[in-house]
Structure 1
Amino acid sequence: MRRDLPDLLRRNWRQLALLLLGVLVPLLLLADLTEDVFQDGGFAWDRAILAWYAAQRTPGLTRAAQALALLGGVEVLPFVTASVALGLWWLGARAHAAFLVMGVAGATLLNVLAKLIFQRPRPDELVALLTEPGFSFPSGHAMSNMAFGYALALVFWHTRWRWPAAVLGFIWAFAVGLSRNYLGVHYPTDVLAGFAASVAWVAGLYLILARRWPQLRQSPRTARP
Structure 2
Amino acid sequence: MKILSLIPAPRRLLILFASVILPLLIAGNIAEDLLEHERFTFEQPLMMWLHQHTTPLMIQVSLVLNIIGKMPYAALLALLLAGWQWHRHRASRAVFILLGTLLSAGIMSVAKYFFNRPRPQFWPRIAEAAHTSFPSGHSTYAATLATLIIILYWHTPQRWPLTAAALLFAFCMGLSRIILGVHYPTDVVVGWITGSVTVILLQQVMRRDWSQRKLS
TM-score (norm 1): 0.86
From 108, 112, 116, the equivalent of 1:115 is 112
1:25 counterpart (22, 26, 29): 22
Change (3 A) 1:136 1:16: same
**Matched pairs, number:** 212
- Are 2:191 and 1:203 equivalent residues in the alignment? no
Q: Distance in 1 between matches of 2:133 and 2:149?
A: 26
Aligned partner (choices 88, 91, 107) of residue 91 of structure 1: 88
| Alignment match of 1:168 (pick from 159, 165, 168) | 165
Determine what percentage of the aligned residue pairs are the same residue: 29
Instruction: Tell me: CA distance 1:120–1:29, structure 2 relative to 1, closer, same or farther (3 Å).
Output: same
Contact 1:146–1:198 under 8 Å retained in 2: yes
1:20, distance to aligned residue in structure 2 (A): 1.8
* In 1: Cα distance, 2:151 partner to 2:213 partner: 9
Cα distance change on mapping 1:111 and 1:216 into 2, 3 Å:
farther
Distance apart, 1:73 and its partner CA: 2.0
Counterparts of 1:1-150 in structure 2 under 5 Å?
11-12=8-9, 15-39=12-36, 41-124=38-121, 126-150=123-147
CA drift at 1:131: 2.3
Deviation sequence 1:1-29 (CA, Å, 0-9, x none): xxxxxxx9965456534432222111111
* Correspondence 1:206-217 to 2 at 5 A: 206-214=203-211
Matched with 1:185 is 182
- Indicate the structure (1 or 2) with the bigger Cα radius of gyration: 1
CA RMSD of aligned residues (A): 2.2
Conserved? CA contact 1:210–1:216, under 8 Å: no
Distance change in 2, residues 1:131/1:54 (3 Å): same
Please list every run of at least 4 consecutive aligned residues from structure 1 whose deviation after the TM superposition is greater than 6 angstroms: none
Amino acid at match of 1:70: I
- TM-score w.r.t. structure 2 length? 0.89
Q: In structure 2, list runs of 5 or more residues that go unmatched.
A: none
Q: Distance in 1 between matches of 2:178 and 2:45?
A: 11
Tell me how far apart the structure 2 counterparts of residues 191 and 197 of structure 1 sit (CA, whole Å): 10
Segment drifting more, 83-92 vs 133-142 = 83-92
The amino acid of 1:93's aligned partner reads R
Instruction: Show the counterpart of 1:5.
Output: none
Alpha-carbon separation, structure 2, partners of 1:126 and 1:218? 50
Identify unmatched segments of 5+ residues in structure 1. 1-7, 220-225
2:109 and 2:148 map into 1 onto residues whose CA distance is: 20
Q: Do the aligned residues in 1 keep the contact of 2:43 with 2:184 (CA within 8 Å)?
A: yes
Quick one: which amino acid aligns to residue 149 of structure 1? A
Deviations 1:136-183 (A, max 9, x none): 000000001100111110011121222222111111011001000000
